Amino acid sequence: MSLAVSDLTCRRSGRLILKDLAFGCAAGEALLLKGPNGVGKSTCLRAVAGLVPSSGDIRCNGVSLGDDRDAYHQHIAYAGHLDAIKPQLSLRENLAFWSDLFGGDGADAALELFDLADLADRPAQTCSAGQKRRLGLARLAVARRNLWLLDEPTVSLDARTVERFTGVLKAHLEGGGMAVIATHLDLAIPATDFALTPVQDISDDPFLAGAF
């Protein structure tokens, strides 16, 4: 099991955001995307998830995103800034929906895992930001995918829950899973750092752009 990304280049609204990135990780490994705000960490994760168009070669377990999108998506789970939670439904209903859709089960076990079992029957709109975040992360546990793509997973979590989440993440990695995480926090997991640097795009420079 492995993730291999090469020559990843991505433009959004004409602006070059990622240029010729190459990174990867093997089973049991985590990769931390680091860099200042606006450097393209979220775009990089969305590109690897196939949610924004990009050029380059992205492969997970040998399946290329460009060649077979559906088969590629069988290997990944993505948790972005938004938690994909419906406020009118209870926590259990929210999670049961995702677990049905991804063909998994164990919604109750996942709620237990993120310390949400007591709140299971409350509507999500009555939950705090941190509790919603935990529910968003619990989706990873029911989706049962190899590669987790996490965008700032610890936002609005308290120290105890960060520890709990780190434990879940560790268990995922020890079970042969992989994770690519954009974070500013030092998570207590064995991981490799990958630093993103701002891309110099000549089309951003009015003088140079005019010269072409």
Partner 1 sequence: MAGLTSLLRRDLRLATRSGGGAGQGLVFFFILTLLVPFGVGPDPGTLAKVAPGTLWIGALLAALLSLDRLFQTDFEDGTLDVLVLSPVPLEVLTATKALAHWLTTGLPLIVLAPILGITLNLAPEAQVWLIASLLIGTPGLSFLGMLGAALTVGLKRGGLLLSVLVLPLYIPTLILGARTVVLAAEGQDPLSTLALLAALTLFILAMTPFAAAAALKVQLS
CB 202, min distance to partner 1, A: 24
CB 186, min distance to partner 1, A: 26
CA 187 to each of CA 127, 133, 149, 152, 184: distance values in angstroms, whole numbers, following the listed order: 25, 17, 15, 11, 9
Q: Which amino acid is at 38?
A: G
Does the protein bind partner 1 through residue 202 (CB under 8 A)?
Answer: no
Does the protein bind partner 1 through residue 103 (CB under 8 A)?
Answer: yes
Does the protein bind partner 1 through residue 52 (CB under 8 A)?
Answer: yes
Query: What distance in Å separates the CA atoms of residue 50 and residue 129, rounded to the nearest whole number?
Result: 27
Q: Which part of the chain contacts partner 1 (CB under 8 A), choosing from 28-36, 66-74, 180-188, 200-208? A: 66-74
CB 194, min distance to partner 1, A: 22
Are 22 and 59 in contact, with CB atoms under 8 Å apart?
no
Does the protein bind partner 1 through residue 49 (CB under 8 A)?
Answer: yes
CB 49, min distance to partner 1, A: 7
Are 77 and 22 in contact, with CB atoms under 8 Å apart?
no
Q: Which residue has the tokens 């709620």?
A: 111
Among residues 91, 96, 141, 157, the one that binds partner 1 under rule CB under 8 A: 96
Does the protein bind partner 1 through residue 80 (CB under 8 A)?
Answer: yes
Does the protein bind partner 1 through residue 53 (CB under 8 A)?
Answer: yes
Does the protein bind partner 1 through residue 121 (CB under 8 A)?
Answer: no
User: What part of residues 125-154 is at the interface with partner 1 (CB under 8 A)?
Assistant: 139
Total residues contacting partner 1 (rule CB under 8 A)?
29
Does the protein bind partner 1 through residue 83 (CB under 8 A)?
Answer: yes
- Region label for 200, one of left (φ > 0), alpha (ψ between -120 and 50) or beta (otherwise): beta
For residue 32, what are the contacts with CB-CB under 8 A and spacing of at least 6?
181, 182, 183, 187, 191, 192, 193, 194
Q: What is the DSSP string of 61-90?
A: TTEETTT-HHHHHTTEEEE-SS----TTSB
Q: Which residues bind partner 1 (CB under 8 A)?
A: 49-53, 70, 73-74, 76-78, 80-86, 88-89, 93, 96-98, 100-103, 139
